[in-house]
Amino acid sequence: MKPATLEFVRQRFADYYKKAVLVAPSSTEQREWGFVLFSPGFPEIHMRRHIGFPGRDELFEYVKNLIPAHVYYSSAYYEQPDAPTMKDKRWLGADLIFDLDADHIMRGPYDIMLGRVKEETEKLLSMLVGEFGIDPKTIDIVFSGGRGYHIHVKDIAFRSWGSAERREVIDYVCGIGIDPSAMLSGKKTVSVGWQVRYRESLIDYLRWIGTLPETDAHAHLAGIPGIGKITAGKILEKREVIIAELVHSPDPVLLKKFPGLSGIVSADESGFKKRLLERAALADEPVTTDTKRLIRMPTSLHGGSGMQVQHIEIRNLAGFDPLTDAVVFGTRDVRLELTGNITVPMLGSTYQLTKGINKVPEAVAVFLCCRGIAEIA
């Protein structure tokens, strides 16, 4: 980032923090804080951390004076949050955190990625409330300001959990370590859960097989490890019988009863696993298992986009549009220089920008400069 661009972005952030009503997390004085500055070399990350504040007023004054590019606080609570080593901080517990990042799910246009990651967030919320029985009042949803969402579960019942217990939760929502025998045994259940999702995924897959020309279906099945031509033919012959069993009450020995099914549910490239994964919530596993994670502070700005890290009520998530609702800068014209053509959807409009000098609204300019796509002309 050129000096003029760095100064432009920093000044816009300074204007925001001068007027913004900032909101700190609960137990501010028990959190560790970290900051990334607009120093030479930005956007390379050089974090200033192991900082503590006695209260919110001191934190807000620090932010308004420092003008950071990124503001983080610990999901953990400490006796001495500003101690220089993790051991000396004396851990007291941590909120249960989930991070959903579009980069881990798909690649594509920014607005499409944001839409896709919101779908995963909605699936995760459904699991936490409907399957874990977590009170929605203890759940905070936060748009990260970049490419995804954070979910904070502040129920004190989870606070003392270690990494192993948190691993169990994230494995469940991501569908990791599922036992096929357990999923395909027992009576049909009307409740939500992985048994229902698993059977529905297998039914969808078998029905899809039925839409293929017979030679294509046979070749597809025969290409799965552990399934030869003879077994592929038997699966096609018994396909409707297998589906009927799955719809009603699967035989406890279903995998043995129909040779080839084990290969289908085990193969990563069978097509079944893809359907199963679509029913999972694709959260970032290391974030949830980390009991000392630093997470972005709502009402701060994201130095990689210029958008606001924003708290969202659960009832408002469906209608939330980051490219409008999390944009805090205005529409005054700013001249930018781009190295290539780009399309930017923002503030309800789509900007078709070309290589060279362009005049764009300030909000678009901040976004492109923060992302390293443009420089101030």
Per-residue pLDDT 10s for the chain (377 aa) are 889 999 999 999 999 999 999 999 999 999 999 999 998 777 777 889 999 999 999 999 999 999 999 999 999 999 999 999 999 999 999 999 999 999 888 888 899 999 999 999 999 999 999 999 999 999 999 999 999 999 999 999 999 999 999 999 999 999 999 888 888 876 666 567 898 899 999 999 999 999 999 999 999 999 888 888 999 999 999 999 999 888 877 677 788 888 888 889 888 877 899 999 999 999 999 999 999 999 999 999 999 999 999 999 999 999 999 999 999 999 999 999 998 899 999 988 999 999 999 999 999 999 999 999 999 98
Contacts of 133 (CB under 8 A, 6+ apart): none
Q: Tell me whether residue 103 is one of the annotated catalytic residues.
A: no
Q: What pLDDT does residue 290 have? A: 96
Tell me, yes or no, whether 166 and 123 share the same domain: yes
Q: Which of 95, 101, 140, 290 is catalytic?
A: 101
Tell me, yes or no, whether 340 and 321 share the same domain: no
Tell me, yes or no, whether 9 and 151 share the same domain: yes
Identify the CA nearest to 340 among candidates 377, 374, 372: 374
User: Number of folded domains in the chain?
Assistant: 3
145 conformational bin, left if phi > 0, alpha if psi -120 to 50, beta if neither: left
Q: Which of 95, 99, 140, 290 is catalytic?
A: 99
Whole-number Å distance between alpha carbons of 323 and 302: 13
Q: Tell me whether residue 88 is one of the annotated catalytic residues.
A: no
Contacts made by residues 273-277, CB under 8 angstroms, sequence distance 24+: 275/201, 275/204, 275/205, 276/175, 276/178, 276/197, 276/198, 276/201, 277/175
Whole-number Å distance between alpha carbons of 204 and 275: 8
Q: What pLDDT does residue 259 have? A: 83
Tell me, yes or no, whether 130 and 8 share the same domain: yes
Tell me, yes or no, whether 199 and 225 share the same domain: yes
Identify the CA nearest to 296 among candidates 32, 73, 66: 73
Tell me, yes or no, whether 208 and 305 share the same domain: no
Tell me, yes or no, whether 157 and 26 share the same domain: yes
Whole-number Å distance between alpha carbons of 377 and 375: 6
Q: What pLDDT does residue 352 have? A: 92
Report pTM.
0.89
Tokens of 57: 């007023």
What is the C-alpha end-to-end distance of the chain, expressed in Å? 12
Whole-number Å distance between alpha carbons of 161 and 157: 8
Tell me, yes or no, whether 263 and 298 share the same domain: no
Tokens of 366: 């901040």
Tell me, yes or no, whether 309 and 223 share the same domain: no
Q: What pLDDT does residue 186 have? A: 67
Question: In this structure, are residues 308 and 326 in contact, taking their beta carbons and an 8 Å threshold?
Answer: yes
Q: Tell me whether residue 101 is one of the annotated catalytic residues.
A: yes
- CATH number, position 24: 3.90.920.10
Whole-number Å distance between alpha carbons of 297 and 288: 17
What's the one-letter identity of residue 298? P
Whole-number Å distance between alpha carbons of 136 and 139: 5
- How far from chain centre, in Å, is Cα 173? 12
Tell me, yes or no, whether 344 and 269 share the same domain: no
Sheet holding 33-36, edge to edge: 47-51, 33-36, 70-74, 294-296
How many C-beta atoms lie closer than 10 Å to residue 315's C-beta?
A: 8
Contacts of 113 (CB under 8 A, 6+ apart): 102, 103, 105, 106, 107, 147
Tell me, yes or no, whether 70 and 95 share the same domain: yes
Q: Which of 95, 140, 284, 290 is catalytic?
A: 284
> What would you report as the CA-atom Rg of the chain, rounded to the nearest whole angstrom?
25
Residue span of the structural domain in which 83 resides: 3-175+284-325
Whole-number Å distance between alpha carbons of 55 and 27: 8
Whole-number Å distance between alpha carbons of 212 and 235: 14
Tell me, yes or no, whether 158 and 198 share the same domain: no
